[in-house]
Structure 1
Amino acid sequence: MFKKSKRLNLDAIKAILIGACISPVALAGQSDAGFKQFDNSIVRLPSSQSGIAALSNDAKSRKLEIHFTLKTTNLEELEARVARGEIISSQEMTEKYSGSKAQYNQLLNWLKPRGFQITQVSADFTNIYAKASVADIEKTLGVKMVVVTYQGRTEPSAITPPKLPIEVGDSVIAIGGLQPVIQAVKHIVTRKQSGAMGGDDKAPVPRPAFATQPTFKVNEILNAYGAGNLGVSGRGERIAILIDTFPKVTDLQTFWQKGGLPITLDRVKVINVQGSTAPLSAPDGEETLDVEWASGIAPGAEIRVYASGSLDYDALDRALDTIYSDAQKMDGLNQVSISLGLREDLVSPDEIKAEHIKFLRFQGRGITVFVSSGDAGSNPDASGHARSPDPPQVEYQSSDPSTAAVGGTTLSLDRSTGRVLSETGWIDSGGGVSASFPRPVWQTSAGATFPGKRLVPDVSAVADPNPGAFVWFKGKEWPVGGTSWSAPMWAGFSALIGEWRRAHGKPPLGFLPFTLYKLQTGLGVRDITKGSNGFYSAGVGWDPVTGLGVPDLGELVKSIP
């Protein structure tokens, strides 16, 4: 760790920038002959940032990992084929939709003598990850770096855009990792945090009828969503979970034992994306929820936990590359679960562009990436866990049109019979209209009253932490909820559908939203027509709180062609 520099006031910040003959506004618009500038590879932080300080010597020597995304050949063709619902083979994806090896090598050879240590590359020549000191990054990429404190994190971060000489930069479409203070947020909510978190006190709205009930168990949810008698367990399927660290083995074993689930540790594979010996943080609950519920819903599936090491977008990108590489080589990895997100305007447009290409590849291979839509309703703030006075926004990655966005509901059951008494849109379910993506072809029939942009979410499942999910964490029951619960749940449902289709001689499922939006309204999904997430209300058909609705698995497996 580097030592924190002395805090600077606004006048001192201006002096730093003027002294360097740079201002954030002026530099963002300037262009030097012979250089390509990446204006959209950084974002302007909200005024709520805690502070900016000059770089200390320790900060200048700090190593950061930077991510270079290179052009994909025939990208427009790939987009068009994916929009038609085509499934592209691993071989064709590699041969037709990769990067240029010559341009990739040119950038590699340019970076190495300038202090950049190459940490990971992609086999398709589209991604290079490299570490360098902050001082070398400043000099090589022409950025102004300062120490930024934001959302409780203090890191060296860029406040001006990077640039590259045209001869190496022309093939690059994005440079990531320059603002490590900006990280994704976990979509998990404990029972004590439940309710519409809004206003100055962010106080939960009490719902004693739900909060005093026991937490929901796996078998109750399977029965509530019509999966209790399918006769499948997800065998032959693999579920990838992207998160920062691994769950504790004893927590998993106790969860399975208490749920009467026939699962052993050989069903869970752990992959440290940074390398097997790289240190990981202690479990904080999200990873445990994800693995317990994905495995609980689909006990026959293999659960593959990809630990990114952090929630930096650079680390998440590396993990996505690793998952995709594995999916290219093994059968059955047909679903990915991601319980993370961040308000769209806080993720740089270039990072969104780079990740969209990754998700597009997954979709082209017929893999559905389920992403939680968020836990702060229609107006998430920068923390992702409270309301903002700003206009409604959705969160990325759930807003990517090559992912399946999963919202949340509030579920009430007759606990003696398992019958669903009611289900409404959860007050904190993320949802709305993307500002970054146009409406995908498969979604054109939904939300006719909304602008022609990507709509969020696509589907939903219970997420309300009252009464919440049964999770075993740190040796005891931990009642939690959030769309972090509904996303791995849907990944498990997808694995059940995959096995059922094989058993009945049907083709692979492919990208699930492409099929769901083609089904007759209410066929295979139970429409949720009541509830609100703040700005939006649930209604008949698709809505910005619960999407198309919640699954009726018994009907859904029969309805998909």
Structure 2
Amino acid sequence: MASTPPTGFKRLPDSERKLPASAHIVGPVNPDEHLEVSVYLRAPAGERAGDNASQYAQQPGPRMSRQEYAARYSASPDDLAKIEAFAQAHNLKVVEEDPASRRIVLAGTAAAMMQAFAVELQRYAYKGGVFRGRVGHLHLPTELEPLVAGVFGLDDRPQAQPRFRYGNSTTRFPLANTDTVSYTPPQLAKLYEFPQGLDGSGECIALIELGGGYSEQDLATYFKQLGIPTPQVTTVSVDGGENKPEGDPRGADAEVDLDIEIAGAIAPKARIVVYFAPNTDRGFLDAITQALHDTTNNPSVISISWGAPESSWTSQAMQAMDQAFQTAATLGITICCAAGDNGSGDGASDQLAHVDFPASSGYVLGCGGTRLSSSNGKITAEVVWNDTTAGGGATGGGVSENFALPSWQTDAHVPLSINNQHAGRGVPDVAGNADPQTGYQIYVDGQSTVIGGTSAVAPLWAGLIALINQKRGQAIGFLNPFLYKNYQQLTQNKALYDVTSGNNGAYTAGTGWDACTGLGTPVGTQLLNTLITSQS
């Protein structure tokens, strides 16, 4: 069924799945297993949600409210009715409809799902676990294929990895001053000259988490040690995901606590909303779309510290997420994404260069990593994070094989891919301290520890953006075009520090943008002043 569509069906473009090299089949799925899938529809005829994204982003700030977006880009009643009829004809039940995100959730048995989408599902052993998977394309009735952007949830293999790295330090926490090899988030905020007198009041920072959890006691302990009021943290369950601490400080709990504690320490009065979802392409996508269209919490910045090499995603998943990020630009929501912790290869085993997705989307702020040195409360040096010689990881970065060079990056001198001389989106856009040997002091599962990785850089920038939003009185939104268009002014104003030393394997840092640290690291107050001045 996977290779030849049955009569009346068409192959769903870009839905092809391949198996990981180390996966092997262990047997068929139980035909009575209950499954849920998310069906995403294309924008209504004549409307594309991304058409005006770059236009909206020429000046930072929101250009369309969530209500205005829903009125223009919601799924049409006719399209929804066609999917409902399809579900009924194939013994599936519609359990949720969200017209604004154009998402319909269908439920039914595995047997019904296989028949509805003309696909075969098997169970596969992989990395010590078992997942439900498929090979080849999905299929849809011919009349529905033009309406559907993607179908997610049939394959539940783990999709992404958290982008944090543990340091080797066993130093007790908290440390006394900034002349150390690890830092509290407020110490780094001071070193990066984040604006003073701001606390994120009135802002909401969304965090996307695909596993693990946090305890309120751990957060209370951590912020008490910092002398900062514990921020308001709430959770949202997506596709059955939940705040579920594993009790392993070296597992996914570390990612969750890292994100909350960095963002919360930088912007303690901002509301932090954690969207927990299963670690699948469906869970990842649904969490992002739920955050974007959340009219209750209204996040203005989203931090994502999970990712995987572009080569491990289906094209339909990357396109659907990229479409969601275009929606974010339209709504004036900033997306900060970790650029990866495995150097220019991004952990792939084929000896080629790879960039991490979702950081490689042209509608997110890709966050790379540095190694920071300081003395007497001032930064004395900053170089590309690369500890690969000691097995300690390195910042991701490079040239996308899937996304074209954005118009706002055309003057950044992004090199051609070393793989095939292909022109593409350059990653990352900005950077921050990420080396675990100069890492972040956090508290996870009852233990004080030091963690680094580009996972830390995404919430660091998200916290800074929350402060900027608070001062401006308006969300800054899609920041990339402004940063690249005004790069000379930003460097003249010393709003960005250009990191020019080091490499991440295939790519080397240099003057201006590079595929290791992007445009550089923040000088927060000057960045804020430049943004305000540019709009006065």
Pick the TM interval, shorter chain. Answer: 0.7 to 0.9
Q: Distance in 2 between matches of 1:464 and 1:527?
A: 17
Q: Distance in 2 between matches of 1:329 and 1:479?
A: 34
User: Which residue of 346, 367, 392 corresponds with 1:406?
Assistant: 367
The answer for the alignment partner of 1:197 in structure 2 is none
- State the shift of 1:448 in Å: 4.3
Q: Distance in 1 between matches of 2:88 and 2:49?
A: 32
Bigger RCO of structures 1 and 2 (CA < 8 A, at least 6 apart): 2
User: Which residue of 190, 197, 201 corresponds with 1:235?
Assistant: 201
**Where do 4+ consecutive residues of structure 1 move more than 6 Å?**
none
Alignment of 1:308-319 (within 5 A): 308=277, 310-319=278-287
Q: Distance in 2 between matches of 1:481 and 1:330?
A: 29
Contact 1:145 1:157 in 2 (8 A): yes
Structure 1 pair 74/362, CA: closer, same or farther in 2 (3 Å)? farther
Are residues 1:392 and 2:353 paired? yes
- State the shift of 1:280 in Å: 3.8
The answer for the alignment partner of 2:174 in structure 1 is none
Are residues 1:259 and 2:226 paired? yes
> Which amino acid counterpart does residue 468 of structure 1 have in structure 2?
G
The answer for the alignment partner of 2:23 in structure 1 is 50
User: Which residue of 221, 225, 233 corresponds with 1:268?
Assistant: 233
Q: Distance in 1 between matches of 2:454 and 2:382?
A: 15
- State the shift of 1:116 in Å: 2.7
Contact 1:407 1:457 in 2 (8 A): yes
Are residues 1:553 and 2:529 paired? no
> Which amino acid counterpart does residue 346 of structure 1 have in structure 2?
S
> Which amino acid counterpart does residue 273 of structure 2 have in structure 1?
R
C-alpha RMSD of the superposition: 2.3
Alignment of 1:442-521 (within 5 A): 442-450=408-416, 451-502=422-473, 508-521=475-488
Deviations 1:141-167 (A, max 9, x none): 111222112233312211132211123
User: Which residue of 390, 400, 410 corresponds with 1:434?
Assistant: 400
- State the shift of 1:518 in Å: 1.7
- State the shift of 1:214 in Å: 4.8
> Which amino acid counterpart does residue 196 of structure 2 have in structure 1?
L
- State the shift of 1:493 in Å: 0.5
Deviations 1:450-482 (A, max 9, x none): 353111101111111113110101112121111
Are residues 1:418 and 2:365 paired? no
User: Which residue of 253, 257, 270 corresponds with 1:288?
Assistant: 257
Structure 1 pair 438/131, CA: closer, same or farther in 2 (3 Å)? same
Unaligned 5+ runs, structure 1: 1-21, 194-211, 383-387
- State the shift of 1:139 in Å: 1.9
Are residues 1:158 and 2:134 paired? yes
Q: Distance in 2 between matches of 1:279 and 1:448?
A: 40
How many residues were matched structurally? Answer: 497
Partner-residue secondary structure (3-state), 1:40:
coil
Are residues 1:38 and 2:16 paired? no
Q: Distance in 1 between matches of 2:222 and 2:93?
A: 42
Identity among equivalent positions (%) equals 29
Q: Distance in 2 between matches of 1:531 and 1:43?
A: 37
Contact 1:242 1:337 in 2 (8 A): yes
Partner-residue secondary structure (3-state), 2:402:
strand
The answer for the alignment partner of 1:68 in structure 2 is 39
Q: Distance in 2 between matches of 1:142 and 1:67?
A: 16
User: Which residue of 102, 112, 115 corresponds with 1:126?
Assistant: 102
Contact 2:214 2:244 in 1 (8 A): no
Partner-residue secondary structure (3-state), 2:17:
coil
Q: Distance in 1 between matches of 2:209 and 2:381?
A: 32
The answer for the alignment partner of 1:183 in structure 2 is 159
The answer for the alignment partner of 1:136 in structure 2 is 112
Structure 1 pair 536/413, CA: closer, same or farther in 2 (3 Å)? same
Q: Distance in 2 between matches of 1:501 and 1:281?
A: 36
Q: Distance in 1 between matches of 2:455 and 2:95?
A: 30
> Which amino acid counterpart does residue 514 of structure 1 have in structure 2?
P
Q: Distance in 2 between matches of 1:125 and 1:355?
A: 12
Deviations 1:103-135 (A, max 9, x none): 112212321453434343323261112233322
Q: Which moved more, 1:62-71 or 1:404-413?
A: 62-71
Structure 1 pair 471/119, CA: closer, same or farther in 2 (3 Å)? farther
- State the shift of 1:213 in Å: 4.8
Deviations 1:228-284 (A, max 9, x none): x522111111100010353111111111011111335xx2122222469x6845362
Contact 1:41 1:176 in 2 (8 A): no
Structure 1 pair 76/434, CA: closer, same or farther in 2 (3 Å)? farther
Partner-residue secondary structure (3-state), 1:438:
coil
Q: Which moved more, 1:312-321 or 1:121-130?
A: 121-130
Structure 1 pair 232/398, CA: closer, same or farther in 2 (3 Å)? same
Structure 1 pair 77/157, CA: closer, same or farther in 2 (3 Å)? closer
Alignment of 1:79-158 (within 5 A): 79-86=50-57, 87-112=63-88, 114-124=90-100, 126-158=102-134
Q: Distance in 1 between matches of 2:270 and 2:442?
A: 19
Q: Which moved more, 1:542-551 or 1:92-101?
A: 92-101
Contact 2:41 2:147 in 1 (8 A): yes
Unaligned 5+ runs, structure 2: 58-62, 170-178, 248-252, 387-393, 417-421
Q: Distance in 2 between matches of 1:173 and 1:475?
A: 44
Contact 1:470 1:477 in 2 (8 A): yes
Q: Distance in 2 between matches of 1:181 and 1:272?
A: 19
Q: Which moved more, 1:278-287 or 1:298-307?
A: 278-287
- State the shift of 1:314 in Å: 0.9
- State the shift of 1:168 in Å: 3.1
Contact 1:218 1:259 in 2 (8 A): no
Partner-residue secondary structure (3-state), 1:544:
coil
Structure 1 pair 125/549, CA: closer, same or farther in 2 (3 Å)? closer
Q: Which moved more, 1:66-75 or 1:425-434?
A: 66-75
